[in-house]
Amino acid sequence: MSVLTVDNLSKNYKAIKALQGVSFTVPEKTVFGILGPNGSGKTTLLGIVMDVLKASGGSYSWMGEQSSAEQRKKIGTLLETPNFYHYLSAEANLKIAAKIKGRGEEDIDNVLHIVNLYQRKDSKFSTYSLGMKQRLAIAAALLGDPDILVFDEPTNGLDPAGIAEIRELIKELNRKGKTIIMASHILDEVEKVCTHVAIIQKGVLKTVGSVKEVMAHTSGNNDGTVLIEISADNDEALIKILQQMDGVMDIAAVDNHLQVTCNENITAAQVNKFCFDNGIILKKLNEKRKSLETRFLEITGTKSEK
């Protein structure tokens, strides 16, 4: 089932086309990353689907229904820098957030446990680290136990420890059945957290699908090959065996191993079995897959912003 459907969405600021005919669907219980450099239209897109901005054209729906104020109350959002009262405790700030939402005050203890801040619930917001402040903002988004969460750059400005905290929290929320839609320009984080991704560049949707599909060698402009690093006690005998395997296109000696170029249908497991069946036991076997950064550069033709 689709949680969010975006259909030919566009947004113009006079001559500037912030979004140009963007269409995609977000499957239920996924972590869906909207990836693109700063200024690509990610925040504009989230602003439209959360009804903060008005689209110039196109439409969108949540759970197959037209957006409404009541429906948006069921979606947890973090679209800006956490905005809490610095002189109040975490618990007091969440009580205010619950009153504004009109729901979720009974969830405060639970959400503080979820984001691992319960022991600091009485501490003033001003004493929190950046990572703790971001976790408190996520706690506020969790009030009312929404099934859908929308985050704009949830790790923005955090140090490596803070990024790791938010990354693990997002993964845990998804394991509990939440659908999470997050915009980010940090390629590494999207690859580690997201199950699905849409890549946007200058308001244009370049590609969309599961992370596996987007990174597959058959998508976009690539050569349709897989690289496998391999070695054995007798690499000369190994080369002779590999030359007999269908799908092996090239074999090159690199450092202390062989780099085998295969067509896209060949897996490391198949290579291992073929060698074993022909009397070769491998010492090293490593299938080299493209990173999301590599695919991003292929798709957009630009330098990444990390």
- For 33-74, write each residue's pLDDT tens digit: 999 888 899 999 999 999 999 999 999 999 988 888 878 878
Structure confidence at residue 222 as a pLDDT band (50, 70, 90): very low
Q: Where in the chain is the domain with CATH 3.40.50.300?
A: 2-215
User: Is 247 in contact with 223 (CB distance < 8 Å)?
Assistant: no
Q: Where in the chain is the domain with CATH 3.30.70.100?
A: 225-289
The one-letter amino acid code at 306 reads K
pLDDT for 102 equals 87
pLDDT tens figures, 134-178: 999 999 999 999 999 999 988 887 888 888 888 999 999 999 999
Give domain 225-289's CATH architecture.
2-Layer Sandwich (3.30)
Strands (E), the chain: 2-13, 16-27, 31-35, 57-62, 65-66, 75-78, 148-152, 179-184, 196-201, 204-210, 225-232, 248-254, 257-263, 282-288
Greatest alpha-carbon pair distance for the chain in Å reads 73
Average pLDDT, the chain: 88
**Under CATH, which number does the domain 2-215 receive?**
3.40.50.300
Q: Which pLDDT value is given to residue 221?
A: 36
This model's pTM is above 0.85: no
